[in-house]
Amino acid sequence: MSAQTSDNNLVASPDEPDNPDAGALTNPEPVADPDPQLWQRKKKGPLAESLKAVAGFGVTFRNFFRPYVTEQYPFEKVPTQPRYHGRHQLNRYPDGLEKCVGCELCAWACPADAIYVEAAANTPEAQYSAGERYGRVYEINYLRCIFCGMCIEACPTRALTMSNDYEIWDDNREDLIFEKDRLLVPLNAGMLSTPHPMASGTSDMDYYNGSVTGATPDQIDWVASHRPQDASLVSAGKPAQEVKA
Ligand code: SF4
Ligand code: SF4
């Protein structure tokens, strides 16, 4: 016979005739104490005992005759693995608009509470990202960051990625809180500095799907009429090879 517990699990009854473990459930065999010799170290002979102190230097002596492996950092920098988790960067679309939409998912995903984001709405006169909102304030506290990469996994637009730069140091706490000016990637050749409108007739999904491949004439005209001195106008919309030449 089986009894039924409150959460519907069947429990073997000790009275059940065809249950071989019935007795074991009620009268478990006492477990014998383990052999006290089991974990005892074997006694060494008198010679080994007397050489114990010298044997401690065995690793040191062995390494005397091996080639040096000292890395000459910072004079010789060691390349990282391609997917090394280094300093973060905030990316842009090919026309220069920021990918970050200020959703704060990266900040929520961070186990070290190292990210602070404050979003603001884009307006027709000040459009910084391809979407409704952009990250007006974006900070990463490198005194807290453990470089786990959870934040970049959480980012829905691939705005946040990690570079291979591992030289993050300073002599004061304040400068180890990186703000947007140090996290946002510089403009690539052909990009237009923000703010400027999205490419006409496109949505944020077109940007996300890679349909926007560079600054359009409409965007260039808009920046030329609002900021005629903008340095990015010189190369905006031109292919990278043309800009380099
Ligand atoms: S790498 Fe990890 S600890 Fe650093 S900011 Fe991203 S989620 Fe936080
Ligand atoms: S970096 Fe990505 S996850 Fe973080 S606020 Fe910007 S869009 Fe959202």
b/e per residue 108-147 (b: at least 16 CB within 10 A): ebbeeebbebebeebeeeebbbbbeebbeebbbbbeebeb
Q: What average pLDDT does the segment 107-123 reach?
A: 98
Residue to substitute in 144, 148, 153 for testing ligand 1 pocket (most ligand atoms within 8 angstroms of CB): 148
Q: Is 89 in the pocket of ligand 2 (CB under 6 A)?
A: no
Distance 95 CA to ligand 2 centre (A): 19
The string of pLDDT tens digits covering residues 186-238 is 999 889 999 999 999 999 999 999 999 999 999 999 999 999 999 999 988 77
The top-level CATH class assigned to 87-235 is alpha beta
In the chain, the percentage of residues whose pLDDT exceeds 70 is 86
Annotated binding site: 100, 103, 106, 110, 145, 148, 151, 155
For residue 70, what pLDDT is reported? 85
Distance 90 CA to ligand 1 centre (A): 14
SS3 31: coil
Among all bound ligands, the one having the nearest atom to the CA of 120 is 2
What pTM was computed for the model? 0.73
Cβ–Cβ < 8 Å for 102, 120: yes
Q: What average pLDDT does the segment 123-131 reach?
A: 95
Q: Is 102 in the pocket of ligand 2 (CB under 6 A)?
A: yes
For residue 213, what pLDDT is reported? 92
Q: Is 139 in the pocket of ligand 2 (CB under 6 A)?
A: no
- Considering only residues 25 and 107, tell me which one the structure prediction assigns the higher pLDDT: 107
- Considering only residues 5 and 208, tell me which one the structure prediction assigns the higher pLDDT: 208
Distance 232 CA to ligand 1 centre (A): 32
Distance CA 100, CA 96 (A): 12
Confidence of residue 46 (pLDDT cuts 50, 70, 90): confident
Take atom 8 of ligand 1 and give the residue whose Cα is closest: 110
Residue 69 has pLDDT above 90, yes or no: no
Distance CA 92, CA 128 (A): 10
The string of pLDDT tens digits covering residues 167-176 is 999 999 999 9
Q: Is 131 in the pocket of ligand 2 (CB under 6 A)?
A: no
Q: Is 135 in the pocket of ligand 2 (CB under 6 A)?
A: yes
Residue 9 has pLDDT above 60, yes or no: no
SS3 142: coil
**DSSP E strands: which ranges in the chain?**
2-4, 10-12, 88-90, 115-121, 133-141, 160-162, 177-178
Distance CA 170, CA 143 (A): 10
Q: What average pLDDT does the segment 113-129 reach?
A: 97
Closest by Cα among 218, 237, 242 to 94: 237
Closest by Cα among 122, 120, 128 to 96: 128
CA dist 151 to 117, 140, 245, Å?
12, 11, 38
Percent composition of the chain: helix, strand, coil (DSSP 3-state, to 5): 25, 15, 60
Residue to substitute in 151, 176, 179 for testing ligand 1 pocket (most ligand atoms within 8 angstroms of CB): 151
Nearest atom of ligand 1 to the alpha carbon of 106? 7
- Residue where the block lists tokens 């980012």: 155
Of 4-18, 85-99, 120-134, the least confident: 4-18
In DSSP notation, 71-133 reads --TTTSPPPPPTT---SEEE-B-TTS-BS-----HHHHH-TT--EEEEEEE-BTTB--BSSSE
Residue 139 has pLDDT above 60, yes or no: yes
Longest distance between any two alpha carbons in the chain, whole Å: 95
